[in-house]
Structure 1
Amino acid sequence: MSADSTAKAAPPVLLAVEDSIARITLNRPEAANGMSIELLVALQEAILACHADRTIRAVLLYGNGANFCAGGDVRTFAARGEALPEYIRPATAHLQNVVGMLSRLAPPVVAAVQGFAAGGGGLGLVCAADFVVAAQSSKFMSGATRVGMAPDAGVSVTLQRIVGFRRAMDILLNNPTLTAGQALEIGLVSRVVPDAELHDAALALARQLAYGAPLALAATKRLLWNGLGSGFEACLPEEARTVSELSGTADAREGLAAVIEKRNPSFVGR
């Protein structure tokens, strides 16, 4: 079997459990771990397996390769053309299931971020994790409005609760690329470490959590997520409808093409 066929056969998400710590790895490095439906379905299954395994005391979320997750797979999106809403609807549903299940997992979730965490996929997972350890060179961006779409993965609620309304408005409408230091300053990430120390630091935090009292940690996590109010899960249907509608516009098709062609988009408002 050739190296290319082996890569194509590799599962989009890997799950391993050792010493009461589950390691979930996004495994599409050739696509910057862009979120295809196949990856989202596999990620749901991995999280469900963590829900079912009572021996798990902490969860580590990684991205294989140079980037944690660059968001949706823009080439797949662009290839759908005017039929993109038919693809976006199930993709958004799967993504919302993923972030909802992460927030309801009893064990705490630690995300280890390198490279880019962007779009509803990357930024959404960051906002849905309980702790975020970021490599010094990592970067964070929303990017949804840049391609004529709206944020998903519950980011329209979680981000503003994490960093505040004004900062969230700036991040989601102006799409700045935040450095790890800036992300730490506004509370988007928990800590920043040298690139070479990322996995060790994330694992050390997961081990520290795994040694804690599991019932107390799970209860405290639940209380904190409940503190977001009913707005989090109540917003998801409206968020999904908005993303689907915008994905069918000419502006969305233009935005995706501009990203792929590395040029500025020309939006016309339809």
Structure 2
Amino acid sequence: MENWIEDGPVTLTFADGVAKLTLNRPDVANGMNLEMMQAIHAAAMRCHGDPRVRVVHLKGEGKHFCAGGDVRDFSSKGEGIGDYLKEVTAWLQVAVGALIRLDAVVVTEVQGFAAGGGGLGLVCASDIVVAAESAKFMAGATRVGMAPDAGSSRILPALVGFRRAMEIMLTNRAVSAEEAVRIGLITEVAADDRLSDRTGEFMAMIAKGAPLAQSATKRLLWNALEVEICLPEEARTVATLSATKDSREGLAAVMEKRAPVFTGK
């Protein structure tokens, strides 16, 4: 095994055609901050630069795949949160674009929560997703006075349909793994104690396939969605909303474990 990135907010190893990209902030449920966004992009580009990589195995360290943005990190920026989230969102969009445009197939393993632009967004940007039967999925953006990002405003309706995507994003309810596979959000559900094994089976099958044909197929399918069209507008929208009082109230409510009081300002 080759250690490409040994520590930091993500780690990256390579063996037998598979690059394992692990979100590595388990103490905050792999919450996304600027450094993690930059690290995911750097890891994706490292994979892009090595033709031996057939599969990128995306996973999260600890109990959760990714519970979304690191709200404490965001809230700590105070009045400067707008400028900070502009940068975070820009890096998130770049990282997602890099994963979508990889020649390698991205196989994502989900345990615990996959929420927000970080969690649900990365799930949407994956090629194959295997989730534990206890996993949960949540949009989460409007809950904190924000809007969808990571391309999810384009990808989620393509996966589950317009009406279902609208309902998931506006209500922020938790979607079970069983429902997620039924509506097309994920590829397969595995028993909790079989998650890693089943994900490994998918990766082994893909790693033995025809790499040029697989990358061409991936490119054609993603091209049909034209995800890049929505990314600039998502970034502008999130940047605008991040400077509002409602956004700060939403973040405060999450940290204080209470219902937010939004005023439309």
TMscore range, shorter length: over 0.9
1:199 aligns with 2:196: yes
1:265 aligns with 2:260: yes
Q: In structure 2, what is the Cα distance between the partners aligned to 1:252 and 1:119? A: 14
Letter in 2 for 1:38: E
Letter in 2 for 1:180: A
Q: How does 1:34-183 map to 2 (within 5 A)?
A: 34-183=31-180
TM-score, normalisation: structure 2 = 0.96
Q: In structure 1, what is the Cα distance between the partners aligned to 2:206 and 2:128? A: 10
Q: Deviations over 1:139-185 (max 9, x none)?
A: 00011000001011011101111111001100111111001001011
Displacement of 1:111 in angstroms is: 0.4
1:188 maps to which of 160, 185, 190:
185
State the number of aligned residues: 260
Displacement of 1:204 in angstroms is: 1.2
Displacement of 1:200 in angstroms is: 1.4
Q: In structure 1, what is the Cα distance between the partners aligned to 2:54 and 2:231? A: 28
Displacement of 1:107 in angstroms is: 1.2
**2:235: which partner in 1?**
240
Q: Deviations over 1:91-138 (max 9, x none)?
A: 101100111111111011100000000000000000000000000100
Structure 2 segments unaligned to the other structure (5+ residues): 1-5
Q: In structure 1, what is the Cα distance between the partners aligned to 2:113 and 2:205? A: 26
Aligned to 2:134, what secondary structure does the other structure show? coil
Q: In structure 2, what is the Cα distance between the partners aligned to 1:149 and 1:112? A: 26
Q: In structure 2, what is the Cα distance between the partners aligned to 1:82 and 1:187? A: 39
Q: In structure 2, what is the Cα distance between the partners aligned to 1:91 and 1:30? A: 20
Displacement of 1:72 in angstroms is: 0.7
Q: In structure 2, what is the Cα distance between the partners aligned to 1:51 and 1:10? A: 20
Q: Deviations over 1:31-83 (max 9, x none)?
A: 10011111111111110010001011111001000000011100111111221
Letter in 2 for 1:32: A
Aligned to 1:219, what secondary structure does the other structure show? helix
Q: In structure 1, what is the Cα distance between the partners aligned to 2:36 and 2:223? A: 28
Q: Deviations over 1:161-214 (max 9, x none)?
A: 111100110011111100100101110010000111111111110110000000
Displacement of 1:10 in angstroms is: 4.4
Q: In structure 1, what is the Cα distance between the partners aligned to 2:201 and 2:160? A: 26
Q: In structure 2, what is the Cα distance between the partners aligned to 1:10 and 1:129? A: 23
Letter in 1 for 2:246: D
Aligned to 2:230, what secondary structure does the other structure show? helix
2:211 maps to which of 208, 214, 219:
214
**2:3: which partner in 1?**
none
Q: In structure 2, what is the Cα distance between the partners aligned to 1:179 and 1:269? A: 31
Aligned to 2:51, what secondary structure does the other structure show? coil
Letter in 2 for 1:125: L
2:249 maps to which of 225, 249, 254:
254
Q: In structure 1, what is the Cα distance between the partners aligned to 2:55 and 2:204? A: 7
What is the identity percentage for the equivalent residue pairs of Structure 1 and Structure 2? 57
Q: In structure 2, what is the Cα distance between the partners aligned to 1:133 and 1:154? A: 20
Structure 1 segments unaligned to the other structure (5+ residues): 1-8
Aligned to 1:227, what secondary structure does the other structure show? helix
Letter in 2 for 1:233: E
